Structure 1
Amino acid sequence: MKKTTLLHIYICFTLIVLLLPGCSVNKFIPEGGYLLDDVKIESDNKEIKSSQMNQYVRQSPNAKWFSLFRFPLYIYSASGMDSTKWINRFWRKLGDAPVIYSKDAAQETQQEIEKAVRNMGYMGAVVDLKEEAKGKRMKVSYDIHSGSPYIINNIAYDIADSKIRSYLEADSAQTLLHEGMRFDVNVLDEERQRITQYLQNRGYYRFNKDFITFQADTMLNTHKVDLTMELASFQIRKEDMPEEHRQYRIRNVNYILDADFAVPSAQALQSFDSVRSGDVSLFYKDKLFLRPKVISDYNFLISGNLYRSRSVQNTYSALSRLSILKYSNIRFNEVIENDSAYLDAYITLSRNKNKSLSFEIEGTNSAGDLGAAASASYTHRNLFKGSETFTIKLRGAYEAVSGLEGYTSSNYMEYGVESSLNFPEFMFPFLSSDFKKRIKATSEVSIKYNWQIRPEFERTLASAAWSYRWTRRGKANHRFDLLDINYIYMPYTSPTFDDYLDRMDEVNPLLRHSYEDLFIVRLGYTYTYNSAGGNTMTTANRNSYSVRFNIEEAGNLLYAFSRLINKKPRYGEAYQLANIDFAQYVKADIDYAKNFVIDERNSLVFHAGLGVAVPYGNSKSLPFEKLYFSGGANSVRGWRVRSLGPGSYRGDGNTIDYVNHTGDIKLDLNLEYRTFLFWKLNGAAFIDAGNVWNIRNQGIQSEGVFKFNRFYKQLAVSYGLGIRFDLDFLILRFDGGMKAVNPMYTGRDRYPIISPDFKRDFAFHFAVGYPF
């Protein structure tokens, strides 16, 4: 792009920034009204954080981009008063209407904050509302004066039901209440909920927290409270006679396939065929679409056991792993026999579509080279009537490779086929059904074949894998790759590429190993934890963090077996499998991301990633696919993908040189400020730092080797802006990064942030999803 064009862009952007704030907001402010300019909450007590009280604010000022500029307000103000004109409607749709200060909303906020603080135990708390008008703008502040807290002096229990009283006495160590604590109504409510869940897991099906109340007696002229917890007897209506709470046991468990009832009953099922598996009865019409044992193995409602709400949730969770099911619904009928209470369970299962066919067309961008890909997938969700999911996918891709010299072709083509079979249980010999129930894992067997045709070479990758996945409490995810076999075959390398490898033998003698036939037999484990779980609302409104840890090893068993047979390799310097070298290495990496929510439209995200891979034994270097690289849409965004490092290695500028910009160690540090713009657009400002290094000198300049006393001096730094299109089902991301610190250079060129060159220092990235 020409510098004059860039100058025009910068001038236009600057004019927009300067002129938009000048658009008059006052024309939309009614006579005697004010634009709400600022809202502050201040507290005289460190235990009462202002951020906790933001949820009670009933009226907030207009949103700011990056918490600095009220561009949405200025965009709205650019419209005229005539709402019938399309241009005015357009500006108003993009922008935010001015927030006109409401006295009623302010007073409601004052009352809600005061109520919240008093519920925290500060019964004498007062909140002052202060208004500061300047011209047509209003600033509002809420000053919290908490006073002294009320303290629980004594706790007593009034529980007439002897059986429940014995349960709670046995569970007293888990109580949230203790003498000397602040009289916090929120904690009292948490204790009510805790007791309710505890009793519902011990047969009390009809129990709810409304049966639990607290009586607080304050002492005269003191801040001490005598607290009494009362547990009311069971009563549906006021006119009913009070009675003890009943414990319910599960009597009959009935699964109904492909049918639904408003009120399930034994009479309604008389026209259905039935079969029994264990303690479970299955009702169906025509034929069963699931094997009976599959359903009984996924059932946690056991006949004869006390009712447990946890068993209901476990059954829902287990059934959700069956992809053949669209949804499941559990209902209970109460049965009273001889003063004993029972529950008949009716679980209705609705079937999903067995088979599906899908097509995808996508654009690709590899190091600036554009291309296209197409794929077709076939899925069968119930292959053996056990909700086994079989998938096969065919994929083809084309890309025009630029910057290659000495080649007759500049086309990159890729053909692939992959297939997988997923079992909704832990598939392994000699495992009991009870163990499979507890582990709640899915198993997958997969095979892949990929054929790459590049101008420089042809490469074939074939793999087969056996893996397990399971989730704990909706937040922690585990993946264990029991066996992953990869075979890399290089049927052709061009003479030009061979010459390049010959030249690189002096610079990087281990590079050639990355383009030879190779076996990789690995196992690995991945742990992922997200504090927000699958709750997107929690992620949007509350601070959250995620951790990902991965470790894998390859070749150890093959190496031990080879050493057992032969003390030394028969040919060359490495042991072989079927006359092909096999890789031996260990690799571990960890990622941490923290999301700080500033307000509903702004957040700050920090990310740190570290990876280390060590080849040893049978390998002098890592396989090319296992090497780390830096730069690109998810790393240091001031560099193109595979164009940074290792260390301060500069390279020769050749397109093929991307194979040298790899390493055994990787470090990424990212800070990104995210803000909502308008419509479906979000913006971001980011700073990235990172690089890759080698553990040992591989012929490249020694600056590529990791050293503790200099690695921090070799960190590359970039900054930039990004736009995200949030389409709900996916996010399209466009990021533009500029180099700030370039370790490949010395002197003035090392700090392009001082004298930027757009052509040299800018990198554009397109990706799907957030970078971290």
Structure 2
Amino acid sequence: MSCNASKFVPENKYLLESVKVESDNKELNPAMLQAYVRQKANSKWFSIFKIPLGTYSLAGRDSAKWLNRTLKNIGEKPVVYDTIMADRSVNDLTTAMRNMGYMHATAQIKTKIRGHKIKAIYLLHPGEPYYISSIKYDIKDSVIAKLLVNKNMRSPFKAKLASGSRFTVDELNAERKNITSFLLDNGYYKFHKDYIIFSADSARNSKDINLVLHLLPYRVTSASPDTLHPCYTINKINFLSGDTVRIHLRNSVLRYSTALQEGKPYKSSALQNTYNKFARLQAVRFTNISFREHPDTTLLDCDIQLSTNKPNTLSFQPEGTNTAGDLGAAASLTWENRNLFRGSELFSIQLRGAFEAIKGLEGYQNQNYEEYNIESKLQFPRFLAPFLSNAFKQRSNATSELSLNYNLQNRPEFHRRIFSAAWRYKWNEPRHHLSYRVDLLDLNYVYMPWISATFKHDYLDSVSNRNAILRYNYEDLFIMKIGAGITYNDGINVVRANVETAGNILNGLSRAFGFKKNSNGQYTLFNIAYAQYAKFDFDFTHLLRFDNSNSLAMHLGFGLAWPYGNSTILPFEKRYFSGGANSVRGWSVRELGPGSFKGTDGRIDFINQTGDMKLDMNLEYRTSLFWKFDGAAFIDAGNIWTLRNYAEQPGGQFKINEFYKQIAMAYGVGLRLNFSYFIIRFDMAMKAINPAYETEKEHYAIFHPNLSRDFDFHFAVGLPF
């Protein structure tokens, strides 16, 4: 392909085949400096194949032809080696190394020519790094000097530079930013980092730097005399409407969302916090904050201009569904009010209906599935709880949410009704990339008004099918749980941890007040057995970027749940399942596990193929293809297990000396349509190792692939992890 591309390379020029950056100092990672190379070679799919260049090369020279224009548009033009860009890259690499403390660093370029192609190799010679020996301060403002360096005042300022640390431009800039942020947070409204400069001196033949930090005095103009930097105080805060109508928010909400305070020093962090708080209000479209100086004083008037959204919206969303091959359709209608009590409370009601045509059922009067759902939410943009101080509530960026939901399911086998109610809190710490969720109270009531005689006879009442898991999941049930979750996301690493427990409070009350027990020995509330369990989930994803087009995503997921006390089996909704678009993709949803369990009578059994423990391990190589298309190649591994030995799931119990033999594996490729704000995903996977096997060939499917037996296709929205 690259040979064909040479027809688009001018005479006496070369196609840039590859670019490398190498260092003769092991302490310096050359990958860190790749970004300073101005000219890169043509992109590769999966870091191997130059398919975009090959596509471009297939085009002819006649641009009037539609085929030639199309091939060039979806392909990638050959990168022609540019000596000027190469020289600039050498200079940029040298400057970058010196900014990193390698004061005598140099760089050079070597090229290897073969035919019409050229390889560029940038060689880095960083030398020895320099270190800070001492730091002195020259501050031309007596008040600021006391804030920064007077140790007797116990100033909250914490210097970042220290003797013995590496001498780098990044460290110096970080200290300038550190001092500037501190002063802007202590009333110095007009201070900026250009007032801070450094001078450095090193002895001959020494790698030690003596550093002096200079903080320059304030000047109104370049011709004005030196003075102290002015320290400003907030005088008055005014709320203005950005629309022709008045602001439809209570005054208390406006004050609650304003971190700036009248009579207090100007604080840049309070300004940003104010922007953040108003941005979280659903009723506010945008915010603009400006300051006005009082003449000949250090007083500031603050004007907060707000533009509000329309309070009511109505949306309609159709859906297409595919559950294990059963096709269906759904539609939802949602009404939202963004300012219910004039406090930017978000109130929503969603109505949803779904229909699915079920195939393969025999002996049932109705062959279709219907579901109707009504869900309402009321979200408050603040922390609503007793015994909390107003100062804490104002510092917090939490939201409080009340939700009510009623779900009606009519299947050929049974009818199910689920009522749920929850009160939860959510908040985040953007500076630390953290978000939190606390489910203070979450109630679920599952009611089974009707079960078909056929289903009862075949699965629930038959002597040959005494399945405790099945029976438990078709009985009325009450779940009262509390839970919490934390998420860390810095764009490279994503860590999620969730924990929840149910039934402990009710169990304590049952024992204290002697609640009634049912025939199974379970305590009941309103004649309904309640669930008792503990559940923990952990999820970790790391993204390793090779360049702008290629990355490797590594994922580990683990979950563990234990029924105890009033329960011997987890509720069906809380049990784990494996397979599907976000798990081990060689299997469909609920087709894998637990352990080496082969299903009921060799058939897939969506009830029995669930467990109390889950393990997912995934590697996915992602690459940009062309236009909006991305590609992926992946390897998945994992399974689920039960913690107790259930007769209905032979081979499903977790055993420390056997579980590793029951880890399923799959491999495959994927195509993604990436529109940035959402991704449509198509994944094609093959089984590699099947723990539920009948024959050796089925067990090691990777060596004996069978398309009809081992292939699975998944359609999904969003990335798998």
TM-score range, shorter chain: over 0.9
> Which residue is 2:211 aligned to?
227
> Which residue is 2:532 aligned to?
584
Correspondences of 1:693-772 after superposition (within 5 Å)? 693-745=641-693, 746-772=695-721
Extract unaligned runs of 5+ from structure 1.
Answer: 1-20, 260-284, 533-543
| Partners of 2:353 and 2:372 within 8 A in 1 | yes
Per-residue deviation at 1:227? 1.6
Per-residue deviation at 1:570? 5.8
Per-residue deviation at 1:424? 0.6
Per-residue deviation at 1:194? 0.8
> Which residue is 1:686 aligned to?
634
- Measure, in 1, the Cα distance between the counterparts of 2:597 and 2:560: 19
1:491 to 449, 468, 471: 449
Residue 578 of structure 1 aligns to which amino acid in structure 2? Answer: F
> Which residue is 1:59 aligned to?
39
> Which residue is 2:129 aligned to?
149
Per-residue deviation at 1:430? 4.3
| Partners of 2:187 and 2:233 within 8 A in 1 | yes
Per-residue deviation at 1:655? 6.7
Per-residue deviation at 1:288? 4.1
Correspondences of 1:96-107 after superposition (within 5 Å)? 96-107=76-87
Moved more, 563-572 or 307-316: 563-572
Moved more, 475-484 or 231-240: 231-240
> Which residue is 2:622 aligned to?
674
Correspondences of 1:440-459 after superposition (within 5 Å)? 440-459=397-416
> Which residue is 1:390 aligned to?
347
Cα deviation, 1:491-518, whole Å, max 9, x if unaligned, reads 1112221122335875642321011111
> Which residue is 2:113 aligned to?
133
3-state SS in 2 of match to 1:630: coil
> Which residue is 1:414 aligned to?
371
3-state SS in 2 of match to 1:75: helix
Residue 83 of structure 1 aligns to which amino acid in structure 2? Answer: S
Moved more, 99-108 or 432-441: 432-441
| Partners of 1:507 and 1:699 within 8 A in 2 | no
Q: Structure 1 residue 111 and structure 2 residue 91: aligned?
A: yes
Per-residue deviation at 1:672? 0.4
Residue 662 of structure 1 aligns to which amino acid in structure 2? Answer: T
Extract unaligned runs of 5+ from structure 2.
Answer: none
Residue 478 of structure 1 aligns to which amino acid in structure 2? Answer: Y
Cα deviation, 1:351-401, whole Å, max 9, x if unaligned, reads 011110000011112122221111110000001101011100111111122
> Which residue is 1:297 aligned to?
256
> Which residue is 1:323 aligned to?
282
- Measure, in 1, the Cα distance between the counterparts of 2:156 and 2:539: 40
Per-residue deviation at 1:46? 2.5
Per-residue deviation at 1:209? 0.6
TM-score by length of 2: 0.96
- Measure, in 1, the Cα distance between the counterparts of 2:464 and 2:382: 50
Per-residue deviation at 1:531? 1.5
2:599 to 651, 658, 667: 651
| Partners of 2:202 and 2:208 within 8 A in 1 | yes
3-state SS in 2 of match to 1:557: helix
TM-score by length of 1: 0.90
Moved more, 222-231 or 103-112: 222-231
RMSD: 1.7
> Which residue is 1:69 aligned to?
49
Correspondences of 1:440-589 after superposition (within 5 Å)? 440-473=397-430, 475-498=433-456, 499-503=458-462, 506=465, 508-532=467-491, 544-566=492-514, 569=517, 571-589=519-537
> Which residue is 1:237 aligned to?
221
| Partners of 2:493 and 2:543 within 8 A in 1 | yes
Per-residue deviation at 1:231? 0.8
- Measure, in 1, the Cα distance between the counterparts of 2:239 and 2:378: 26
> Which residue is 2:138 aligned to?
158
Residue 247 of structure 1 aligns to which amino acid in structure 2? Answer: C
Residue 304 of structure 1 aligns to which amino acid in structure 2? Answer: G
Per-residue deviation at 1:257? 2.1
- Measure, in 1, the Cα distance between the counterparts of 2:592 and 2:669: 20
> Which residue is 2:309 aligned to?
352
> Which residue is 2:199 aligned to?
215
Cα deviation, 1:631-688, whole Å, max 9, x if unaligned, reads 0000000000001101000013677711110000011001100000000000110000
| Partners of 1:719 and 1:740 within 8 A in 2 | yes
Percent identity, aligned pairs only, is 49
Per-residue deviation at 1:287? 4.6
> Which residue is 2:172 aligned to?
188
> Which residue is 2:358 aligned to?
401
| Partners of 2:240 and 2:306 within 8 A in 1 | yes
2:239 to 255, 275, 295: 255
Cα deviation, 1:273-304, whole Å, max 9, x if unaligned, reads xxxxxxxxxxxx76540111111111111111
- Over 3 Å counting, the alpha-carbon distance change for 1:118 and 1:572 in structure 2 is closer
- Measure, in 2, the Cα distance between the counterparts of 1:504 and 1:22: 70
- Measure, in 1, the Cα distance between the counterparts of 2:42 and 2:393: 54
Residue 258 of structure 2 aligns to which amino acid in structure 1? Answer: N
- Over 3 Å counting, the alpha-carbon distance change for 1:287 and 1:143 in structure 2 is closer
| Partners of 1:505 and 1:512 within 8 A in 2 | no
3-state SS in 2 of match to 1:704: coil
> Which residue is 1:9 aligned to?
none
Per-residue deviation at 1:113? 0.2
3-state SS in 1 of match to 2:606: helix
- Measure, in 2, the Cα distance between the counterparts of 1:122 and 1:729: 42
Per-residue deviation at 1:621? 0.5
- Measure, in 2, the Cα distance between the counterparts of 1:206 and 1:375: 52
Cα deviation, 1:12-32, whole Å, max 9, x if unaligned, reads xxxxxxxxx387111111101
| Partners of 1:39 and 1:141 within 8 A in 2 | yes
- Measure, in 1, the Cα distance between the counterparts of 2:566 and 2:464: 20
Correspondences of 1:265-276 after superposition (within 5 Å)? none
- Over 3 Å counting, the alpha-carbon distance change for 1:225 and 1:103 in structure 2 is same
3-state SS in 1 of match to 2:315: strand
Residue 30 of structure 1 aligns to which amino acid in structure 2? Answer: P
| Partners of 1:548 and 1:590 within 8 A in 2 | yes
3-state SS in 1 of match to 2:630: strand
> Which residue is 2:322 aligned to?
365
- Over 3 Å counting, the alpha-carbon distance change for 1:422 and 1:505 in structure 2 is farther
